[in-house]
């Protein structure tokens, strides 16, 4: 598979990011509330960061290391967030990562996008396991993982340092065999 895929759900199109998305990425991901609940999104989100991030997607896909999707609304195409399978090991596992712009929280977009990406990971990429994590103080993200059929696997106490504090990391995962049921 050379071309990055596009996935569709009832309300969403999950498509490759384009450099023209950079302004929306900077605006949405640049919200401190988004950066505060993710491991790697910086704040402030400075000019050029979105373009740099988008420029890494094709190489990661070509190398079989990851696939990133822009989460966009049907039919208008507005960008609402991002969802990815990262740190992929062919035929084995990948980490699901996502963020949704604050304006679009609590509408089920992340769960809807996550279901499509899990199906892609298991059926198309042939993965056996997909895992995900969230800061303990962000239980909303954990609810998304449970809705996706993931099982809580444990907590890594003070595993991540975000800004000036240590964060507990809640771990979730699902096996292909369990997902198919």
Is residue 135 in some structural domain?
A: no
pLDDT per residue as tens digits for the range 85-108: 999 999 999 999 999 999 999 999
pLDDT per residue as tens digits for the range 7-24: 999 999 999 999 999 999
Position 51 confidence tier, pLDDT thresholds 50, 70, 90: very high
Is residue 107 in some structural domain?
A: yes
More confident residue, 17 or 2: 17
Is residue 44 in some structural domain?
A: yes
CATH number at residue 30: 3.40.630.30
Is residue 38 in some structural domain?
A: yes
Total domains in the chain come to 1
Q: What is the pLDDT of residue 2?
A: 76
Q: What is the pLDDT of residue 85?
A: 98
Taking 80 as the threshold, does the pLDDT of residue 181 lie above it? no
Q: What is the pLDDT of residue 180?
A: 83
Is residue 179 in some structural domain?
A: no
Q: Domain residues for 85?
A: 7-127
Taking 90 as the threshold, does the pLDDT of residue 74 lie above it? yes
Is residue 137 in some structural domain?
A: no
Q: What is the pLDDT of residue 128?
A: 98
| Ordered strands of the 151-162 beta sheet | 7-8, 12-15, 67-73, 79-89, 93-100, 129-135, 165-175, 151-162
pLDDT per residue as tens digits for the range 115-149: 999 999 999 999 999 999 999 999 999 999 999 99
Is residue 172 in some structural domain?
A: no
The closest of 62, 169, 176, 98 to 130, measured between CA atoms, is 176
Is residue 162 in some structural domain?
A: no
Position 82 confidence tier, pLDDT thresholds 50, 70, 90: very high
Q: Which residues have C-beta within 8 Å of that of residue 35, sequence separation ≥ 6?
A: 29, 41, 42, 43, 45
CA angle 124, 54, 130 (to 5 degrees): 35
Position 1 confidence tier, pLDDT thresholds 50, 70, 90: low
Q: What is the pLDDT of residue 177?
A: 96
Position 54 confidence tier, pLDDT thresholds 50, 70, 90: very high
Q: What is the pLDDT of residue 108?
A: 97
């Amino acid at each position: 598979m050379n071309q990055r895929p596009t996935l569709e759900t009832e309300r969403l199109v999950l498509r490759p990011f384009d450099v023209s998305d950079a302004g929306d990425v900077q605006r949405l991901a640049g919200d401190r509330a988004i950066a505060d609940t993710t491991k790697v999104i910086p704040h402030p989100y400075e000019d050029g960061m979105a373009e740099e991030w988008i420029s890494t997607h094709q190489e990661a896909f070509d190398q079989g290391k990851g696939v990133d999707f822009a989460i966009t609304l049907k039919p208008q195409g507005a960008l609402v967030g991002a969802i990815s399978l990262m740190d992929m090991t062919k035929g084995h596992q990948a980490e699901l990562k996502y963020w949704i712009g604050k304006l679009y929280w609590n509408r089920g977009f992340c769960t809807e996008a996550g279901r499509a990406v899990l199906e892609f990971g298991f059926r198309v990429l042939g993965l056996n396991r997909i895992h995900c994590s969230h800061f303990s103080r962000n239980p909303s993200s954990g609810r998304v993982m449970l809705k996706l059929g993931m099982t809580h696997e444990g907590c890594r106490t003070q595993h991540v340092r975000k800004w000036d504090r240590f964060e507990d990391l809640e771990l979730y995962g699902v096996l292909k065999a369990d997902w198919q049921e």
